[in-house]
Structure 1
């Protein structure tokens, strides 16, 4: 019995030291090296930056659709499969609405993230392509050059981690706030 208990106690102590001390400190140290995330910090406008919001005005970049009406308290997807007739009708309605607001764009040029909701329903980001496809509309409405808007998109793009993990994306709220700042600056 002594032959079994002593090694078990030693293993328990080693695991305690490793998982409660060394591992925890290592993960904490790595987290300090990572870029700061603005999760749930209020921006200057008073909005939360990491919760998707609805932008429907033609002067703004439109957000990714939400299956929960952008309600962070009830985040979630629609749970409808890609062959569900209700889901297909909903996506088609989103495509039709997008084409009405962006008549220069063809249906096959619309990025999927502009017509399908994310799994959480409150994703604050869109792809860079989803932003670029909206440039003509915004430039026309705001009377700003497309080049200027492309520069704002480039400045606001969040690159993938180490060029490997994730995709390049843009926070829609931050992008729209930059547009408003630019418009205010141009008017002065």
Structure 2
């Protein structure tokens, strides 16, 4: 191989090494250093949120997350919003039915009939629409204070807890607007039911 060919080969090898070194450097920075640093900072500054905003019961057992709703089948508990995915966090989303879709109309009618059966003392005219409609993610852990209040009559009958006590329980578990401005007042259903469970001594 003559000298010119050797120089050409060295130049080509050098040209390949530069982007290779840059790629390795960025893989180390972006793939190892940055994730470790951001994870460490999150664990240090926001450990609860970084670990899923988990909720524990009185015995210290994890019973859920502040961020993901759950289904409460027993009518003695406060109920959350309708979830077309049964609160399965592995596949969040809703069916996105339009208001004229027959499937949505039938599901809504079924939800209203279920409400009437479980809450005979509360007329349908007082039923908040949020209790019979799906949230965008299907995982909403909150309901409005009004959606909790209309369930008090049913829960009082089934648990023996007075309506006044349940009203105070809802107020104590009502979260205000973010920064006092953004969003609406809301109640985390899981937290509310944990508080109710403590009241019942369960």
Structure 1 residues 89 and 39: alpha-carbon distance in aligned structure 2, compared to 1, 3 A threshold: farther
Normalised TM-score (structure 1) = 0.76
Aligned equivalents of 1:87, 1:67: Cα separation in 2:
11
Residue 136 (structure 1) aligns with: 153
State the secondary structure of the residue aligned to 1:137: helix
Larger radius of gyration: 2
Decide which of 101, 104, 122 is 1:105's aligned counterpart: 122
How far did residue 56 of structure 1 move?
1.9
Residue 153 (structure 1) aligns with: 170
Normalised TM-score (structure 2) = 0.71
State the secondary structure of the residue aligned to 1:47: strand
Aligned equivalents of 2:51, 2:94: Cα separation in 1:
20
| Contact map agreement 1:40 1:48 (CA 8 A) in 2 | no
Deviations 1:120-158 (A, max 9, x none): 001000010000000011111110110100101001001
> What 5-or-longer segments of structure 2 have no aligned partner?
1-40
> What 5-or-longer segments of structure 1 have no aligned partner?
1-27
How far did residue 58 of structure 1 move?
1.5
Decide which of 63, 80, 84 is 1:47's aligned counterpart: 63
Aligned equivalents of 2:185, 2:89: Cα separation in 1:
23
Deviations 1:69-115 (A, max 9, x none): 11000100111001111101101101110110000111111001110
Q: Given the alignment of the two structures, is residue 93 of structure 1 paired with residue 110 of structure 2, yes or no?
A: yes
Aligned residues: 153
Q: Extract structure 1 runs of 4+ deviating beyond 4 A.
A: 36-39
Q: Given the alignment of the two structures, is residue 80 of structure 1 paired with residue 97 of structure 2, yes or no?
A: yes
Residue 20 (structure 2) aligns with: none
